[in-house]
Amino acid sequence: MTKDAIRQAIVDIIQEILPDEDMGGIELDKPLRDQLELDSMDFLDIVMELRKRYHIEVPEKDYMELNTLGSTIAYLEPKMANL
Amino acid sequence: MSRSLPRIVITGVGLAAPNGDNLPAFRQALLEGVSGVELFETRYMEPVPAGICHFDQYKYQSKKAARRGTRAGGISIYCANEAVADAGIDLATRDLSAVGVFIGITEHGTVETENEVYNLGTYQNDVKYWTHHHNPRTVANNPAGEVTLNLKITGPHLCLGAACAAGNVGLIYGAQMLQLGEVDLALAGGVSESVRSFGVFASFAAQGALARNDDPTKACRPFDTQRSGVVVAEGGALFTLERLDDALARNAKIYGELVGWAYNSDASDFVLPNPERQAQCMRKALKMAGLTPDRIDIVNTHGTGTAQGDEFECQAIRSVFAGSTRTHTNNTKSFIGHAMGAAGALELAGNLPSFSDGMVHPTINLTELDPECALPNLVIGTPKKLDRVETILNNSFGMLGINSAVVVKRYDGN
């Protein structure tokens, strides 16, 4: 997957978890929690959707990598490059 | 009431019924003979007749909250908001630690567990795909807890597991909490999401008690010789209950006064009702109300449309009301099916407008009365106008032998 495709894949997952929110203006380097109504259960939903849709495991020690959209893309790029 | 406890009144009604999203619409459907039963797709089975609600579930709840929560929670949130609005209560001005939420349920967690087991099967039963939402969705207080989250209520909340007597039992518990002074406002009644569980349908089918009919609107036919069983429904009804003095102090609209109630146990069978215990329950509620049977205008029957259940309830009602020419009987499930934990509360709600319009809504789908189900002044097919309705007795019974009866009296300022 390209970097843009990975970005879109993450946004699609967050949109499903937060159907009321507008995904248009998410800033790459700002914590997702500061921009969206995301709590710890929602982050677990993101982890679950990555597992279900792309068979990607995000171990608990790596959860902080999902802090911003930019850090999430960077973290997932090597894992999704061959998808 | 015979006891020197505070008097309790109903000041607001919020409901979701298969044939109405609020009390005026529900009442109109009941008076006009409009069924809310339709064919419904459920897992592993042919489509089944079921009572399905069509209220706007996002009226008071975000899509995110609905996705995270349960159908029973969503129904409860809708009913609670509607009841508070109907009562003219501004929760922002209330002490929210003195507000309680008490919701009767037949079961909870069945729907969510079935769904998750099904989903897990699509991942070769690898439990790492089991959702972290399972436990908060299936705890027994979920529907009431979702209401407190939605309305920021910090007083007590719980769900009361009372099989299909639960709607009445939720109401009774709310009244008792007000009398004890534990709360100043109770949101009380019952809800059900049971139609989302194939297991509820399949279990009735296995028991030979699931209704079938080519026309789903004709499937629920209590007291008819051709009745074939239960039509499962979803729905909810929550009432705002207040102590009479508090209601009068704020000049509240009063739907009626809860003057008597009772619930008891058959202690005789898992599923078969016990008419002797049912009659005892009705008599106990009448005694608390200080009323004799001939002072009751309407008995809303539990009648689900099963062969033995209807017969036994009719025996019980005849034994209590045989001498009462004033008492009329009717049935609400014939319109909407059996809303399980919501049934008692929904059916009471559907009859409350009798105090103002003087009408007794009928039972429908009754073309040939089973002689074993003969009842005093059973209102069949079309509504009946009475000179004045003063009292309603609402029956609701459930499996494991739980019976409940609530007596509501018109409030006329005395």
ipTM, 2 decimals? 0.95
pLDDT at B414: 79
Q: Are B405 and B262 in contact (CB under 8 A)?
A: yes
- Enumerate residues 6+ apart whose C-beta is below 8 A from B172: B261, B263, B404, B406
Q: Round to whole Å and give the CA distance between B45 and A67.
A: 45
Percent of chain B with pLDDT over 90: 98
Phi, psi torsion values for B139, nearest 5 degrees: -60, 150
Site from B57, B58, B62 to mutate, A interface, most A CB atoms within 10 angstroms = B62
Residue of B nearest to A43 (CA): B132
Q: Please, which residues bridge with residue B264 across strands?
A: B403
Structural domains for chain A: 3-80 (1.10.1200.10)
Query: Could you give the CA distance from residue B394 to residue B407 in angstroms, rounded to a whole number?
Result: 6
CB proximity under 8 Å: B 130-189 to A: 131-133
Length of chain A: 83
Closest approach of chain A CAs to the CA of B65, in angstroms?
9
**Which pLDDT score is estimated for B372?**
98
The answer to whether residue A44 scores a pLDDT higher than 50 is: yes
CATH number of the domain located at residue range(s) B261-409 in this protein:
3.40.47.10
Taking CA–CA distances from A48, the nearest residue in chain B reads B129
* Nearest CB neighbour to A19, from listed B63, B123, B129: B63
The residue-averaged pLDDT of B7-23 equals 98
In DSSP terms, B192 is beta-bridged to B235
- Distance set, CA A25 to CA A69, B276, B305 (Å): 11, 67, 56
Best of A36, A40, A41, A55 to disrupt the B interface (most B CBs within 10 Å) is A41
CA of A1 vs chain B CAs: smallest distance (Å): 24
**Which stretches does DSSP call E strand in B52-106?**
99-105
Measured in angstroms, the CA of A16 and the nearest CA of chain B are apart by 9
| pTM of the predicted model as reported, rounded to 2 decimal places | 0.97
H or E element: which one contains B276?
helix B275-289
Please, which pLDDT band fits residue B3 given cuts at 50, 70 and 90? Answer: low
Instruction: Tell me the pLDDT band of B1, cut-offs 50, 70 and 90.
Output: very low
- B48-51, strands of its sheet edge to edge: B37-40, B48-51, B232-233
| Superfamily for the B8-249 domain | Thiolase/Chalcone synthase (3.40.47.10)
Per the listing, tokens 């409350």 go with B352
Domains B8-249 and B261-409 share a fold: yes
- Over the stretch A22-41, which tens digit does the pLDDT of each residue have? 999 999 999 999 999 999 99
Q: Is B124 on the interface with A (CB under 8 A)?
A: no
**Alpha-carbon span B144 to B148, nearest angstrom:** 7
Nearest chain B alpha carbon to A50: B129
The Cα–Cα gap between B2 and A74 comes to 73
Domains of chain B: which residue ranges? 8-249, 261-409
How far is B190 from B144, CA to CA, in rounded Å? 10
What's the token pair of residue B103? Answer: 């919701």
The closest alpha carbon to B381, from B153, B223, B189, belongs to B223
Average model confidence (pLDDT) for chain B? 97
Chain B environment of A20 (Cβ under 8 Å): 62-64
The alpha-carbon gap from B99 to the nearest alpha carbon of chain A, in Å, equals: 27
Contact B132 A48 (CB under 8 A): yes
Contacts with B328 (C-beta within 8 Å, 6 or more apart), sequence order: B297, B298, B299, B360, B376, B377, B378, B379, B384, B386
Nearest CA in chain B to A44: B132
Cα-based distances in Å from B150 to A2, B15, B57: 41, 17, 13
Whether B2 has a pLDDT exceeding 90, the answer reads no
Q: Which residues in chain A touch residue B130, judged by CB atoms under 8 angstroms apart?
A: none
Quick check: helix, strand or coil at residue B96? helix
- List the single residue in A19, A20, A51 with the smallest CB-CB distance to B128: A51
**Chain center to CA of B305:** 16
Chain A contact set for B132 (CB, 8 A): 41, 44-45, 48
Contact yes or no for A20 and B64 at CB 8 A: yes
User: Residue B10 phi/psi, 5° resolution?
Assistant: -95, 125
Q: Do A20 and B63 touch (CB under 8 A)?
A: yes
CB atoms A51 and B129 under 8 Å = yes
The distance between the two most distant Cα atoms of chain B, rounded to a whole number of Å, is: 66
Q: What is the CA radius of gyration of chain A?
A: 12
* Contacting residues of B for A17, CB less than 8 Å apart: 64, 67
Residue B4: its pLDDT value, please?
85
Among B239, B389, B170, B205, which Cα is nearest to B299's? B389
Q: Kindly report the backbone phi and psi dihedral angles of residue B104, in degrees, each rounded to the nearest multiple of 5, phi listed first.
A: -80, 140
Q: Within the 233-252 window of chain B, which residues sit less than 8 Å (CB to CB) from chain A?
A: none
Nearest Cβ partner of A41 from B128, B129, B132? B132
Cβ of residue B385 closer than 8 Å to a chain A Cβ: no
**Each residue of B105-118: pLDDT tens digit?**
999 999 999 999 99
Contact B188, B173 (CB under 8 A): yes
| B188 sits in which H/E element | strand B185-192
**Alpha-carbon distances, residue A32 vs A64, A72, A75 (angstroms):** 11, 10, 15
| DSSP state letters, B363-405 | B-S-SSB-GGG--TTB-BSS-EE-S---EEEEEEEETTTEEEE
Cα B139 to the center of its chain, rounded Å: 21
Nearest to A19 among B64, B131, B132 (CB): B64
With beta carbons under 8 A apart, name residues in chain B contacting A48: 129, 131-132
Contact A19 B133 (CB under 8 A): no
> B234 and B75 in contact (C-beta within 8 Å)?
yes
Give the residue-averaged pLDDT of B290-312: 98
Q: How far is B62 from chain A (nearest CA, A)?
A: 7
- DSSP states of chain A: --HHHHHHHHHHHHHHH-TTS--TT--TTSBHHHHS---HHHHHHHHHHHHHHH-----GGGGGGGSBHHHHHHHHHHHHTT-
